[in-house]
């Protein structure tokens, strides 16, 4: 199937997709190419990036376009009822089942089911879904009769399913069955100037909705908008534009200073944003903060040890400084800058550093202090982990959530501190 740029533009207009980035156009192209087939599709991308729009493209450009299209969020259906919702149940099959009910796979026979947040689906339901994908067969809850259905499944996720497979949370055979054709929907921060186009589109929509003049950005405000990472993607940008449209009653031209009042303050610490699709494991900002603090503590302890070695090995001071050069990266050469002019020195010209006698008095306590500091950090971390586990009755999932770290990180810490019962 030959797809031109004009075809892509037409499809984007039809389904309300705004943007011209290469990654976005490539995702639209793949959706258009796979639509006429019956192949299963797995759409990946961050929350709020617009994955459902691509499922609609696939359905409405397929031979099933006259059939029913149902979008289901697997994460919003309780584990005890999801089988009934998807496959139906017989009367009396469980408490509250006062009559028989058809499930979505029976209702949408001949159509398309979009399963969003597929990574949240329980393992038992995954086995049932795999049978539908492979044989078109399913069994209602409380029944033994095998039923047939002809439904196309389009799934979506904002997590790394392959990592879930490795952790035993998602079936490997289902993963490969779903991801026959993968489509990656890029986050807003990877789409260049698309954020500006979306801002103008939303500004026009909200101006019409609230009967006000559309807001516009100055050139400096546009630069700030394009630099912001938008962790909530298109959903966050839309909420931002609506907020400004309603609250900026005095001026409809928004400058950089005004825009900064509405944009959430970003963390000034070195921050690794969570990339739940591609990163080796989920990383929270608290994880990074801990890492930064521990790295800083380690550098301080290394410096203390170096000073102790310099004090005890005056003859080899220059060589020791060279061996530990990494500890002085970015430090300016300010020899004698802060030393007392008339004070004698124990070490002269050690690398680029002189140490006055008054400062040597504390060196004797450094080794003990270094060991004590390290043990103190480990002790506090161990105490926090124990408190979180007790609070959540040793349920690691909830303990990790309270601590702001991933389950894998918590498991590693439990092994490290030998906290397993």
Contact 73, 119 (CB under 8 A): no
Residue 101 or 311, more confident: 101
The mean-pLDDT minimum among 68-82, 205-219, 300-314 falls in: 300-314
- At residue 277, the pLDDT reads 45
Q: Per-residue pLDDT averaged across 161-184, rounded?
A: 94
Average pLDDT rounded to a whole number, residues 359-366: 50
Its CATH class, for the domain covering 5-186, is alpha beta
Q: Both tokens of residue 178? A: 């779903």
Q: What is the pTM of this model?
A: 0.64
pLDDT band at 28 (very low <50, low <70, confident <90, very high): very high
Q: What is the mean pLDDT of residues 184-194?
A: 96
Q: 190-262 — its CATH code?
A: 1.10.8.60
Mean pLDDT calculated for residue range 256-270: 76
What's the rounded mean pLDDT across residues 82-100?
Answer: 91
Query: What's the start-to-end Cα distance of the chain, in Å?
Result: 60
Domain segments of the chain as ranges: 5-186, 190-262, 281-421
Radius of gyration, alpha carbons of the chain: 30
Q: How confident is the model at residue 93 (pLDDT cuts 50, 70, 90)?
A: confident
- Dump pLDDT digits (tens) for 37-46: 999 999 999 9
Q: What is the pLDDT of residues 323-357, one digit of tens each?
A: 656 555 554 444 443 434 444 434 444 444 444 54
pLDDT digits (tens, 9 = 90+) for 118-134: 999 999 999 999 999 99
């Amino acid at each position: 199937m030959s797809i031109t740029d004009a075809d892509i533009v037409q499809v984007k207009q039809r389904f309300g997709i705004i943007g011209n980035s290469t990654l976005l156009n490539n995702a639209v192209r793949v959706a258009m190419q796979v639509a006429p087939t019956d192949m299963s599709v797995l759409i990946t991308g961050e929350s709020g990036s617009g994955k459902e729009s691509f499922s609609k493209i696939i359905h409405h450009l397929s031979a099933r376009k006259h059939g029913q299209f149902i979008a289901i969020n697997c994460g919003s259906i309780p584990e005890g009822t999801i089988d009934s919702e998807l496959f139906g149940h017989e009367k009396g099959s469980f408490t509250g089942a006062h009559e028989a009910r058809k499930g979505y796979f029976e209702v949408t026979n001949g159509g398309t089911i979009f399963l969003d947040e597929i990574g949240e689906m329980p393992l038992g339901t995954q086995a049932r879904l795999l049978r539908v994908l492979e044989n078109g067969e399913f069994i209602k809850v409380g029944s033994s009769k095998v039923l047939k259905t002809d439904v196309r499944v389009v799934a979506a996720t904002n997590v790394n399913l392959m990592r879930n497979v490795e952790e035993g949370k998602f079936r490997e055979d289902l993963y490969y069955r779903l991801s026959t054709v993968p489509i990656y929907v890029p986050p807003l921060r990877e789409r260049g100037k698309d954020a500006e186009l979306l801002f103008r589109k939303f500004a026009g929509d909200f101006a019409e909705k609230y009967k006000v003049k559309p807001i516009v950005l100055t050139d400096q405000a546009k630069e700030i908008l394009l630099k912001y990472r938008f962790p909530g993607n298109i959903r966050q940008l839309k909420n931002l534009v609506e907020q400004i449209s309603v609250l900026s009653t005095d001026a409809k031209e928004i400058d950089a200073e005004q825009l900064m009042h509405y944009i959430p303050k970003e963390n000034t610490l070195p921050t690794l944003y969570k990339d739940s699709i591609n990163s080796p494991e989920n990383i929270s900002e608290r994880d990074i903060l801990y890492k930064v603090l521990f790295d800083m503590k380690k550098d301080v302890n290394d410096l203390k040890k170096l000073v102790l070695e310099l004090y005890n090995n005056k003859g080899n001071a220059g060589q020791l400084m060279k061996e530990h050069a990494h500890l002085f990266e970015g430090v300016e050469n300010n020899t004698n800058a802060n030393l007392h002019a008339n004070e004698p020195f124990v070490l002269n010209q050690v690398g680029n550093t002189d140490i006055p006698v008054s400062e040597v008095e504390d060196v004797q306590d450094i080794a003990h202090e270094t060991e004590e500091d390290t043990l103190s950090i480990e002790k506090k971390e161990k105490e926090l982990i124990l408190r979180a586990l007790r609070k959540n009755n040793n349920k690691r999932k909830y303990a990790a959530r309270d601590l702001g770290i991933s389950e894998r990180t918590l498991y590693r810490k439990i092994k490290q501190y030998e906290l397993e019962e």
